[in-house]
Chain A
Amino acid sequence: NAGVMQNPRHLVRRRGQEARLRCSPMKGHSHVYWYRQLPEEGLKFMVYLQKENIIDESGMPKERFSAEFPKEGPSILRIQQVVRGDSAAYFCASSPSAGQGLSYTFGSGTRLTVV
């Protein structure tokens, strides 16, 4: 079992460009969660998705950020027109189906740097 796979590990974007972060959950996991971690800070919830559904996006900024988890392929966190304040580590986690608890497994993260 390869665990939660995130790519790229490091991403550098110029201000105004788009950033696309990918997350493949663990095999058998159907729930995906995205968190943002600023330097020296905690994990801030962004969005919770199941296949083809956004369950909770209460932590997502209202503009420029979007997320999807299509029927086939990885979950994508998309940040349009990036600004320096978007620089952070973005972690994805997955968990088994509902009813089996919230036992998260985290990916290694994508470290986004906006220059």
Chain B
Amino acid sequence: GENVEQHPSTLSVQEGDSAVIKCTYSDSASNYFPWYKQELGKRPQLIIDIRSNVGEKKDQRIAVTLNKTAKHFSLHITETQPEDSAVYFCAASNRGRSGSQGNLIFGKGTKLSVKP
């Protein structure tokens, strides 16, 4: 099955700086890579996702890049703000049986702290 590694586990940046979180996956058949943000005591919420037919996707201050050959993908947050402080999880789709829809396997998370 799929295995997702995420790093760093903690990241501290100054407000206005950029933050980059990296993930690698093991299953070359994975084709969907979402990123979730989880604030303390709350549910994980989807912030951006990318499919394997695209190399980069951007949404305002957030961008995700995907390198299928190297099997890694990254989250980039520019002009960070204190409200970006949260735990961020990457995930990769797990191949389902007989090619059917599988499930998401998550990385262990990155705790991002943005200092004012």
Contacts and interface: CB of A to CB of B under 8 A. Distances in A.
A101 B101 CA distance: 8
A33 B43 contact: no
B86 interface: no
Nearest to B45: A106
Among A33, A42, A104, chain B packs the most CB atoms within 10 A around the CB of: A42
A110 to B, nearest CB: 11
Interface in B98-116: 100-109
Contacts, number: 62
A48 B103 contact: yes
A91 B104 contact: no
B1 A98 contact: no
Nearest to B110: A42
A102 B93 CA distance: 7
B43 A108 contact: yes
B52 to A, nearest CB: 11
Contacts of A108: 42-43
Among B44, B97, B102, chain A packs the most CB atoms within 10 A around the CB of: B44
A98 B96 CA distance: 11
A98 B97 CA distance: 13
Interface string A91-115: 1000100110111111111000000
Given A58-B1, A106-B45, A109-B43, A101 B32 contact: yes
Given A33-B104, A42-B106, A45-B103, A102 B32 contact: yes
B32 A42 contact: no
A6 B42 CA distance: 13
A85 B51 CA distance: 36
B89 interface: yes
B110 to A, nearest CB: 10
Nearest first, the 4 closest Cβ-Cβ pairs linking A and B are A42-B108, A98-B101, A43-B106, A106-B43
Interface of B: 1, 6, 32, 34, 36, 42-46, 49, 51, 89, 93-94, 96-97, 100-109
Interface of A: 31, 33, 35, 41-45, 48, 55-56, 58, 91, 95, 98-99, 101-109
